[in-house]
Amino acid sequence: MSIFGTRPEIIRLSRIFPLLDKHFEHIMVNTNQNYTKELSSIFFSELELRKPDYDLKIRTAKYGDEIADVISKSEQVILKENPDLLLILGDTNSGLSAIPAAHHGIQIAHLEAGMRAYDIRMPEEKNRVLIDHLSTVLLPYTHYSRENLMRENIHPSKIYVVGNPIIEVIDHFTPKIEQSKILEQMKLKPNDFFLVTAHRSENVDNLEQLKIIFLSLEKIHKKFKKRIIYPMHPRTFSKLKKQSIPNGVEIILPLGFFDFSKLEKNALCLITDSGTVPEETLYFKKPCVTIRESTERPETIEAGSNILAGLNVDNIFNSVKQITSINPEWSWDSSLGDGKTASKVINILRSKLERRKI
């Protein structure tokens, strides 16, 4: 059984789902944590995914209701289907389905295990720690993450580094990304615009923080005189009421994966609080400025493609100036992901399931 519910989970699992269907009796459970078309159904059609077996339709307006629904509704499907193993990716509230699974003695495999920002303000950090410690098979992307797990006393025999699955998603869909007409539709020229995403709760739930993001974008627009395209997540949009939008900033609905990736490949620079975007820009050889105080992906900083600017107008502005003034010399190291994560995951899961039967 796989349980997931958000945009990044659907994207990252998209090359793994078909293999799970091929090699196992796979029950696919969407919690619907992200329920809008722009954050969910568009990815099922673009990434050619089948309809999930269950849509849990969890309530999402309040934290407590959301967590309660993830736990009680996932428990119902777990008890009904009695899976041999539950696969979870990442750190979202949907991943808290690990709690009822562990309670009922179901094996849990956690992909994207071991990421740590060491920033406990983040809801994702709390979820990561919980899910890792409830899991029986830990599947980090990198050795960095593996070391984090071992520092928390997770036994190395449970850990398998499998690489980052985003690479094979991009590689598989490169022809579709190239076919995207978004540049023409938006009348954008390569390297002549900034692309922004920001929706982490610690950045946008507080109006003062959101203000810093807009002041930074205003300063960047004044200096560079380039358009700033901001496909906006509904969480940020819901906080926008009292916020005036600076000149040059163009807020649009979230884009599909092909259009967004095409913009990433052609932007002058990405400004983001996303986890996946800095990985994608490293792969696309594009500069990225992360507008957060911490990151669970230090590999992108070490590679040189991403500056961690914090949430401060001058730091964000200076980081953008800095990273756009140098030639991108970084490159994706295959130790971060070699495009074969899906088949590794399948083989590891098979060995775990076979062993249990013996």
Report the catalytic residues: 199
Query: Which residues on neighbouring strands pair with residue 54, listed in sequence order?
Result: 29
Q: Does the protein bind ligand UDP through residue 274 (CB under 6 A)?
A: yes
Binder to ligand UDP among 31, 33, 40, 261 (CB under 6 A)? 261
Spell 76-111 as b/e; 16+ CB within 10 A means b. Answer: ebbeebebebbbbbbbbbbbbbbbbbbeeebbbbbb
CA atoms within 13 A on the CB side of 285: 7
List binders of ligand UDP among 190-249 (CB under 6 A). Answer: 197, 231
Q: Does the protein bind ligand UDP through residue 52 (CB under 6 A)?
A: no
Q: Does the protein bind ligand UDP through residue 29 (CB under 6 A)?
A: no
Minimum gap (Å) between residue 232 Cβ and ligand UDP:
8
* 77 or 336: CB nearest ligand UDP: 336
At 203, the amino acid letter reads N
With contacts defined by CB under 6 A, name the span among 153-161, 175-183, 239-247, 274-282 that binds ligand UDP. Answer: 274-282
Minimum gap (Å) between residue 137 Cβ and ligand UDP:
21
d(CA 126, CA 91): 8
Q: Does the protein bind ligand UDP through residue 127 (CB under 6 A)?
A: no
* 4 or 260: CB nearest ligand UDP: 260
d(CA 138, CA 26): 19
d(CA 307, CA 322): 9
Binder to ligand UDP among 5, 8, 114, 163 (CB under 6 A)? 8
* Burial of 128: CB neighbours in 10 Å, binned 0-12, 13-18, 19+: buried
Cα–Cα nearest to 234, from 4, 10, 36: 36
Binder to ligand UDP among 275, 283, 305, 337 (CB under 6 A)? 275
Minimum gap (Å) between residue 97 Cβ and ligand UDP:
17
Binder to ligand UDP among 3, 11, 220, 269 (CB under 6 A)? 11
List binders of ligand UDP among 319-358 (CB under 6 A). Answer: none
Binder to ligand UDP among 29, 154, 255, 267 (CB under 6 A)? 255
> Are β-strands 288-290 and 306-308 bridged in parallel, bridged antiparallel, or unpaired?
parallel
Q: Do residues 239 and 207 lie in contact, with contact meaning Cβ atoms separated by under 8 Å?
A: yes
Q: In whole angstroms, what separates CA 128 from the centre of its chain?
A: 13
Q: Does the protein bind ligand UDP through residue 95 (CB under 6 A)?
A: no
Minimum gap (Å) between residue 4 Cβ and ligand UDP:
12
d(CA 324, CA 320): 6
DSSP string covering 254-286: PPPHHHHHHHHHH-SEEEE--SHHHHHHHHHT-
Q: Does the protein bind ligand UDP through residue 283 (CB under 6 A)?
A: no
With contacts defined by CB under 6 A, name the span among 171-179, 239-247, 271-279, 343-351 that binds ligand UDP. Answer: 271-279
Minimum gap (Å) between residue 305 Cβ and ligand UDP:
15
Query: Which residues on neighbouring strands pair with residue 196, listed in sequence order?
Result: 271
Q: Does the protein bind ligand UDP through residue 7 (CB under 6 A)?
A: yes
CA atoms within 13 A on the CB side of 129: 13
For the chain, the residue count is: 358
Binder to ligand UDP among 254, 292, 296, 305 (CB under 6 A)? 254
Minimum gap (Å) between residue 34 Cβ and ligand UDP:
8
Q: How many residues sit in the footprint of ligand UDP (CB under 6 A)?
A: 15
With contacts defined by CB under 6 A, name the span among 222-230, 273-281, 282-290, 335-343 that binds ligand UDP. Answer: 273-281
* Burial of 35: CB neighbours in 10 Å, binned 0-12, 13-18, 19+: middle
Minimum gap (Å) between residue 330 Cβ and ligand UDP:
18
Structure-token pair, residue 234: 């509904």
At 82, the amino acid letter reads N
Residues in contact with ligand UDP by CB under 6 A are: 7-8, 11, 197, 231, 254-255, 257, 260-261, 274-277, 280
